[in-house]
Structure 1
Amino acid sequence: MIIRAYLRASTSEQDANRAREQLKLFVSEHGARITTFYVENASGAVLERPELQRLLSEAQEGEILLIESVDRLSRLPMATWEKLRNQIQTVGLQLVAADMPITYAALKPSTSDPMQAWMLKAIAQMFLEFMAAFARKDYERRRHVQRQGIETARMAGLYKGRAPDLELHSKIMVLLSGKFSVRQTAALLGCSPSTVQAVKVKSRLLAPPPVE
């Protein structure tokens, strides 16, 4: 049995490997072991995640995609979730979520009753759809609360925005001064071109005027 475990955290400050041991214990209790881990720090609200796409490209029919919970796989809006779900189904992966016992049937030998197997699969899919919708709703609620908190702090004069990454900014300035383009700098440092452009503009504004 090939089991591909996908672990995700939203930001670099969070530990995407946090659930690794938990998932290893989980599959061992079912008499199996994880074949490959795919770990990344990326938003669950976007589909284009390198490790997730690598998993889908390497997987084959009948293998298992193991996740800690559905929100680790998706916080996607409905149309994008349906695209991901179709990718998973096209590959032929069976999805198992450690917090959803209804999905555990994929870890057991196939039942001799095809009707029972069909019903279990249908029920599991129904729960997955529900949990994917709930994960998106929770994501939108968190974003709303965050925006409210920022607005409240701003009105009180307490919000100063996210602290700049001074180390990253210094590296950007070094590369830009070395005649690297904005896109080249972004690619080398693994940040967005907009971040590089913002640092470039800010450096120009802060530069001392030329001596006449």
Structure 2
Amino acid sequence: MFVRAYLRASTSEQDAERARAQLEAFVAERGLHIASWYVENESGSKLTRPELFRLLKDARPGDVLLVEQVDRLSRLTADDWERLKGELTSRRVRVVALDLPTSWMMATTNTDAFTARMFEAVNGMMLDVLAAVARKDYEDRRRRQAEGQLKAKAEGRYKGRPEDMERNASIAAMLGKGLSWSQIQAATGCSRATIAKIAKRAA
């Protein structure tokens, strides 16, 4: 059994590695170690997350996917969550989340077959609940943000985020030189959405 840790933050301005120490402490308490780390700055509302799917590709049956919270894994719609669950199930990857105590038993091999199946069933149900809660929280925050922006616009206070002209010019130059999006992300710390927007302008 390998423990594969997944760290995610929504934007390039956030620290995706913030929870690294917590995950290391969790496995140390259980006499385990983290075999590999997968870190990315992508929205949890999107299914297209390169590092998450690299983890799934690397995983072998029985491996643990370790996350700080279920919402690091999913803020997905119900349909996309079912697709991700299908991937996890088909690859027989066990999800362990620090905010989901029922999942902690998945990080041990010292259980009989009946107990293991029982915990898998309970854990699956709780994962569904927390994934639904994470999605609702995401939608509620987006709605409140949109309402706040509409109100600010109506009152003449909303200006939007100023564009980083120097950074975007640098991104455009790198695109012109044929650098890959991953290379540009590594060099600038920007999101793929920003690169896509600048690439579209240059098209």
Using structure 1 for the length normalisation, give the TM-score: 0.84
Separation of aligned partners in 2, 1:154 and 1:186: 37
Q: Could you say which residue in structure 1 is the equivalent of 2:98?
A: 98
Structure 2: give runs of 5+ residues left out of the alignment. 186-193
Q: Tell me if structure 2 keeps the 8 A contact 1:9–1:72.
A: yes
Give deviations 1:84-141, integer Å, cap 9, x for gaps: 11101111111100111100111223323x3332222111110000001111011000
Which of the two has higher C-alpha Rg? 1
Structure 1: give runs of 5+ residues left out of the alignment. 202-212
Match of 1:195 among 187, 191, 198: 198
- CA shift for structure 1 position 149: 0.9
Q: Could you say which residue in structure 2 is the equivalent of 1:32?
A: 32
Q: Could you say which residue in structure 2 is the equivalent of 1:210?
A: none
Separation of aligned partners in 1, 2:174 and 2:41: 25
- CA shift for structure 1 position 171: 1.9
- CA shift for structure 1 position 168: 2.3
Separation of aligned partners in 2, 1:54 and 1:185: 21
Which stretch has the larger CA shift, 114-123 or 158-167? 114-123
Give deviations 1:11-60, integer Å, cap 9, x for gaps: 01100000001100011111111111100100001111111111011111
- CA shift for structure 1 position 161: 1.1
Give deviations 1:67-86, integer Å, cap 9, x for gaps: 00110001000000100111
Change in CA separation of 1:64 and 1:159 when aligned onto 2, cut-off 3 Å:
same
Q: Tell me if structure 2 keeps the 8 A contact 1:9–1:43.
A: yes
Secondary structure of the residue aligned to 1:5 is strand
The amino acid that maps onto 2:198 is: T
Which stretch has the larger CA shift, 34-43 or 185-194? 185-194
- CA shift for structure 1 position 174: 4.4
Q: Tell me if structure 1 keeps the 8 A contact 2:9–2:16.
A: yes
Which stretch has the larger CA shift, 114-123 or 130-139? 114-123
- CA shift for structure 1 position 186: 7.9
Structure possessing the higher relative contact order (Cα contacts under 8 Å, 6 or more residues apart): 2
Change in CA separation of 1:158 and 1:64 when aligned onto 2, cut-off 3 Å:
same
Q: Could you say which residue in structure 2 is the equivalent of 1:123?
A: 122
The percent of aligned pairs where both chains have the same amino acid is: 44
Using structure 2 for the length normalisation, give the TM-score: 0.87
